[in-house]
């Protein structure tokens, strides 16, 4: 039996771990992309610590995680009563200042979402540049609302400097791309204030992949728009699958080999990895894909861990050729 002191120490350590996880939710890994940590963690406000309240909070927390992992805002609605299975995926939980903080098993949740027909969006995600008018940029509550929603949806943000916010007037895709490159971002989210005195009516524009998406609503609709659009582009559904061959050049030792293998195994687009051949510094991998080859290429392009040796469209039956990027650390 644990003593009261030991229980208190464990509770304190649990709160510390969860605080650290939430503080490091978005960790920028390379230009244009970020690694989202805490993907399978959520905090739900509770009024008591009874069993019934805890079970309900587990279901709510799983709904939050499902939206983040799938990239779909209405994931909890689609899952419906299936969320009652949440307790069997819980790895850890603890109470902290009126919140129940829950950590779920990633493999279990992924399988649960796939079974429900929802896509999976990996930890490597595009960074979104946020541009707001200078009149809004000083409003602490508004910025906090944007950041909180971005964390809930797993959207890494970078904020434009004040001078950029005052001068920017994006009129075409090339201007958007140039500005995104300047900030090391992939997408741009611009707030157009319809009424400078309120943040309840904002016109948001998302510039991504040569197109512009718009939404009108409250200040937190911006990161929702970014998550919806980017999730649709990068998340991988199980509708298409197959086997492809990926050849990686520049694997010059056991460490590089092991890290490359672990990296490929961890991709949301990859179900299984087999080594097909080794020759000098080149390894040929056989990948069992979740989704198509194009999904794989999008993920690799975003990560920038491997540099493509081919340009343009590639037939699914073609061997994909990449070089290990020595400037990137494989996770």
| Residue-wise pLDDT tens digits, 124-140 | 999 999 998 877 655 67
Q: Is the four-CA dihedral 70, 232, 72, 18 of positive or negative sign? A: positive
For residue 180, what are the contacts with CB-CB under 8 A and spacing of at least 6?
32, 129, 186, 187, 188, 207
Instruction: Examine the domain organization and report whether 76 and 179 are in the same domain.
Output: no
| Predicted pLDDT at 13 | 38
Last residue of a domain, one of 234, 251, 281: 234
Element (H, E) at 108: helix 106-115
Q: Which range is least confidently modeled, 1-15, 69-83, 237-251, 252-266?
A: 1-15
Q: Which two tokens stand for residue 134?
A: 């200078």
pLDDT one-digit tens code per residue, 102-112: 999 999 999 99
Q: Domain limits at 59?
A: 4-115
At residue 15, does pLDDT exceed 50?
A: no
Helix-helix angle 221-234:140-153, to 10 degrees: 20
Map residue 84 onto helix, strand or coil. Answer: helix
- Establish if 329 belongs to a structural domain: no
Instruction: Examine the domain organization and report whether 85 and 104 are in the same domain.
Output: yes
Instruction: Examine the domain organization and report whether 212 and 245 are in the same domain.
Output: no
Instruction: Examine the domain organization and report whether 175 and 255 are in the same domain.
Output: no
At residue 191, does pLDDT exceed 50?
A: yes
Instruction: Examine the domain organization and report whether 256 and 320 are in the same domain.
Output: yes
User: Measured at the alpha carbon of residue 267, what is the angle toward residues 266 and 270, in degrees to the nearest 5?
Assistant: 105
DSSP 161: P
Helix-helix angle 140-153:51-70, to 10 degrees: 90
DSSP 321: E
| Predicted pLDDT at 19 | 40
CATH of the domain at 141: 3.40.50
DSSP 64-80: HHHHHHH--TTHHHHHG
CA distance 120 to 236: 5
Confidence of residue 25 (pLDDT cuts 50, 70, 90): very low
- Establish if 331 belongs to a structural domain: no
- What is the percentage of the chain residues whose pLDDT exceeds 70? 84
Instruction: Examine the domain organization and report whether 87 and 167 are in the same domain.
Output: no
pLDDT, greater one: 7 or 201: 201
**pTM of the entire predicted model:** 0.79
CA distance 160 to 191: 12
- Establish if 330 belongs to a structural domain: no
pLDDT one-digit tens code per residue, 172-190: 888 888 999 999 999 999 9
pLDDT one-digit tens code per residue, 270-322: 989 999 999 999 999 999 998 888 889 988 988 888 999 987 666 666 889 99
Confidence of residue 327 (pLDDT cuts 50, 70, 90): low
CATH of the domain at 267: 3.30.70
Instruction: Examine the domain organization and report whether 99 and 143 are in the same domain.
Output: no
Ramachandran region, residue 39 (left: φ > 0; alpha: ψ -120 to 50; beta: rest):
alpha
Instruction: Examine the domain organization and report whether 10 and 110 are in the same domain.
Output: yes
φ, ψ at 24 (rounded to 5°): -105, 25
């Amino acid at each position: 039996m644990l003593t009261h002191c030991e229980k208190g120490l464990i509770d304190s350590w649990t709160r510390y771990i969860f605080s650290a996880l939430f503080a490091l939710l978005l960790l920028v890994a390379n230009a244009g992309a970020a690694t989202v940590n805490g993907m399978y963690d959520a905090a739900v406000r509770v009024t008591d610590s009874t069993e019934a309240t805890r079970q309900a909070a587990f279901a709510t927390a799983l709904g939050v995680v499902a939206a983040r992992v799938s990239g779909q805002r209405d994931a909890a609605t689609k899952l419906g009563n299936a969320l009652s299975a949440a307790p069997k995926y819980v790895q850890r939980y603890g109470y902290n200042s009126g919140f129940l903080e829950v950590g779920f098993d990633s493999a279990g949740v992924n399988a649960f979402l796939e079974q429900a027909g929802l896509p999976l969006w990996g930890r490597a995600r595009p960074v979104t540049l946020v541009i707001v008018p200078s009149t809004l940029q000083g409003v602490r509550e508004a910025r906090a609302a944007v950041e909180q929603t971005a964390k809930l949806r797993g959207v890494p943000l970078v904020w434009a400097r004040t001078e950029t916010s005052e001068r920017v007037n994006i009129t075409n895709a090339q201007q958007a791309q140039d500005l995104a490159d300047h900030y090391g971002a992939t997408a741009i989210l611009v707030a157009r204030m319809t009424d400078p005195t309120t943040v309840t009516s904002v016109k948001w524009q998302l510039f991504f992949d040569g197109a512009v998406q718009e939404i009108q609503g409250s200040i937190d609709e911006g990161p929702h728009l970014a998550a919806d659009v980017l999730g649709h582009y990068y998340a991988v559904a199980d509708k298409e699958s197959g086997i492809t061959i990926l050849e990686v050049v520049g694997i010059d030792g056991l460490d590089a080999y092991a890290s490359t293998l672990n990296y490929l195994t961890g991709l949301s687009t990859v179900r299984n990895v087999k080594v097909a051949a080794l020759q000098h510094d080149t390894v040929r991998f056989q990948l069992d894909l979740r989704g198509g080859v194009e999904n794989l290429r999008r993920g690799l392009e975003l990560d920038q861990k491997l540099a493509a040796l081919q340009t343009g469209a590639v037939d699914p039956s073609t061997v994909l050729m990449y070089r290990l990027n020595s400037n990137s650390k494989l996770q």
